[in-house]
Every structure is written in C-alpha cells, then in structure tokens.
Amino acid sequence: MPKITIIGGASAFTDSLVRDFLSLDLPSGVLAMVDIDKKRLDLASKSVKRIVEVSGKNWTVEASTKRADLLPGSDYIVNTIEVSGMQTVELDNDIPLKYGIDQCIGDTIGPGGLFKAMRTIPVWLEILRDAEKLCPNAQVLNYTNPMCMITLAGLRATNMKIVGLCHSVQGTGRGLAKVAGIPYDEMEWECSGINHMAWFTKLEHCGKDLYPVLRKRCKETEVYEGDPVRWDIMNHFGYFVTESSGHFSEYVPYYRKRAELIKKHCRDGYRGGTSFYRNMWPDSRASRDERRKKIIVGTEKIEFKKSVEYASVIIEAMETGKPAVIHGNVVNTNLIDNLLQGGCVEVACLVDRNGLTPTKVGKLPEQVAGLCRANMSVFELGVQAALHEDKEAFYHAMMLDPLTAAVLSPGEIRQMTDEMIEAEKKYIPRFLSKNSKKATR
C-alpha cells in the first residue's frame, strides 16, 4: 500500500494526478496533501476525497499545512510547489518587458525563470532536507519549474532520489502522430535533449521516415498556424522540439527580440502571446477553485481517463515490477555526449522495482545540441548562484540567457536585474540584495 505525498497539494496538477493514481491496479493506498495555503488545501482535499469516493477505491486522504506531519512513511513525494508566484508574476513579466524582453510564459528560463528559481530553490531544499530525515528512501517526482534548475539543485544538495517530470515529450509525440495521420502506438521514435528542448531525432512508421510527411503537412496553413515557431525551427534545424511555440520562443534568440518578429512568428496564447502567463494565471487559478467546488457538491462529472503524466506510470512500475519507459530529467552522466556533463538532461528512462535507470543517447545532432548547451549554461549558473549564494553567477546567468542577450547589453542586463531584485527583495534570498563586487556600468 503506497503512500504518495503531494507537496503543493492545492496545485493545478493534483486532481489529474490523483485520477491517474486511482486508475492503477492498486486497491488501496494513502494520498497525503501538503500546502501552506490552508483555505485552498481544504478545498483541494475535499475535492480529492470526493474523487476517491467516486472511484470506489479504498484510498485514504490526509491533509496538513505541516509537511513534517505527513512526510514520515512516504514512498513517493510529488513536488508541485509554487513559491510566491501570485505576488511576483507581474514583476517577473513587466519589468523585463519595460526593457524590451518580451516573455510569453517566463517561468523556466529568461528573467522570469531565473527569478522563479531563486525564490523556489531555497524552499525546495528545505523540503528535501526534511525528507532526508523523515523518509530518506522515498522517490521524489518533481513537476515544479524551472525544471532543470530545480531538479539539478535538489540532486546536488541532497541525497534524495529525484527525477524531473514533464508532459511535453509525450504530448508532442501524440500531436506529431496526429499530424502524420498514423496511430500514436505505431510510431517509432527517439527523443532527448533538455526539458522543453528535447528533440525527436527519430520519427518513423513501419520503417518509413515521417519527417518528409511533416515538412509537407506544415505548409498547410491550418497545421502551421497551430504551432508556428516549432514548425519554423524544424524547417531550419531539421528536428521537431518538445515544447509549445510560446514557451520555446523564449529559449532561443530568434523570435522575440523585435516587434516585427513577434508579429511574424508568434500568435496568441501558448503559441507565443506577449505576457500570456502573466495575464492568464490569476483567472486560471480562480476557475480551478470553482471546478473543485463543483466536484465537491457533485455538479462536475468526475472522469477517470488517464492523463499523459508520468507519475502514475513510475509508481505502477515500482510497485508492481511491470517495466515501463518514461522520459525523465536526470543528471547527464555520459548519457548525451555533446551536452554538459553533470548538467540536467531529459532522456528515456527504464522503470521497474529497482527504480529509474536512464538510457544512453550518444550524441545529439550538433545544431540542436548547440541550442541546448546555451540553455544549460544559464541553468548551471543559476544553480551555482542559488547553492553558493553567488550574486555574480546570477548576473552571468542573466547575461547568457539567449533571449535577454539578444535584446540587451551586459550593462543593461545588470540594470534590469537590479531593478527586479529591488522589486522582489521580499521573496528572494538575501544574498541577491547585497551590493555586487563588480561594476554595474
């Protein structure tokens, strides 16, 4: 009977993940929910209890604002925390925008992603250090962005077993199969790189390369307009990438540095809309709470269709021994030869009772490896800044960010960073508010 503890139990992931857990061939277990927001935790836990009741499974639901109450005995820890996000989402977006840095999402790389990392990593490490004392053998499944920096910091600073999980690989694969007009289960594919920038280096059906089909289909307006940035990058770099056009457009220097380029390549919403996440998030959070209220009173239909998230797949494989393959974010220990060793990469992993075993990729095509390396340098410096309280490393991370560097000079980047530090000083580590030893001109 596994115990699954969700840290950030009122998050957007919870209801979907719980449905996945209840769909497993595990008749009983414990779902423990931890969140510092008592009001939203109460709402989320009542919603989960209702979902469990409808499932007919004999699972117990526990909830607490104190993680020390629920971590003991945990077999799996699912991390979905959001640290000060509601208070800072506008600052993360609006200050960079004033300097010409146009973000769509801004939670994984760029100014928004780096500041989110600084807010999140200290809290994340406190959670992991508690877990080291209270449930040291637990498998940690991280869903919180910025994925690479959060996962890497946890693996470097603690002894916990951690894998970073996302839905971009499996979601993109299904989308490509649909465009190619074939059943997803019949598609043969290989995908690796870094989170939100992994590449489908093999796409075949019955031994036939699907890329010629995709290159032809993307000339159709309806297909191209659904994902304009990703189709464009495929046409120029040769491979399809795993994150949405809006998110991916932030990770490279090509699409968001001038207004005419944004107009040409980006569209609304997840296709690249300016300030999309900043404008969408508060309403999305409120609507989620309303849906939970409907679940509790029985006016919202509860369906148990399994999502594409990997958490339940991992738990099922580890609990039953039935092997599975997932794509996880892990340390690059000679897995991808031409990416930073010791950095965080996203590769296929085998899962069974022994846990997760990453598979070796070899080399990525150099043109896409170069794009990954540019991002990995930002992540490496961000993690160094957080773990060693190194403000200069933080400046350097900002300076190496591909989008930021495409728009601003080093001095302008320091100025923008200092303005963001001042605006967010209540939410970030104190070392960032100390005077830098270097010139800021």
Report CA 124 to chain centroid distance, whole Å.
14
* Dist CA 262 CA 272 (whole Å): 8
Helix (H, G, I), strand (E, B) or coil at 427: coil
DSSP per-residue codes, 236-247: HHSSEESS-HHH
Distance CA 380, CA 44 (A): 35
**For residue 325, how many other CB atoms are within 10 A of its CB?**
13
Under 8 Å between Cβ of 192 and 348: yes
Asked whether the beta carbons of 429 and 149 are under 8 A apart, the reply is no
| Closest to 274 measured CA to CA, from 89, 101, 82, 402 | 101
Known catalytic residue: 236? Answer: no
**Looking at the DSSP assignment, which residues form a beta bridge with residue 180?**
none
Question: What's the distance, Cα to Cα, between the start and end of the chain in Å?
Answer: 60
Alpha carbon distance 120, 386 (integer Å): 10
Task: Dig out the tokens for 431 from the structure.
Answer: 């070392």
DSSP 273: -
Q: Which residues are catalytic?
A: 167
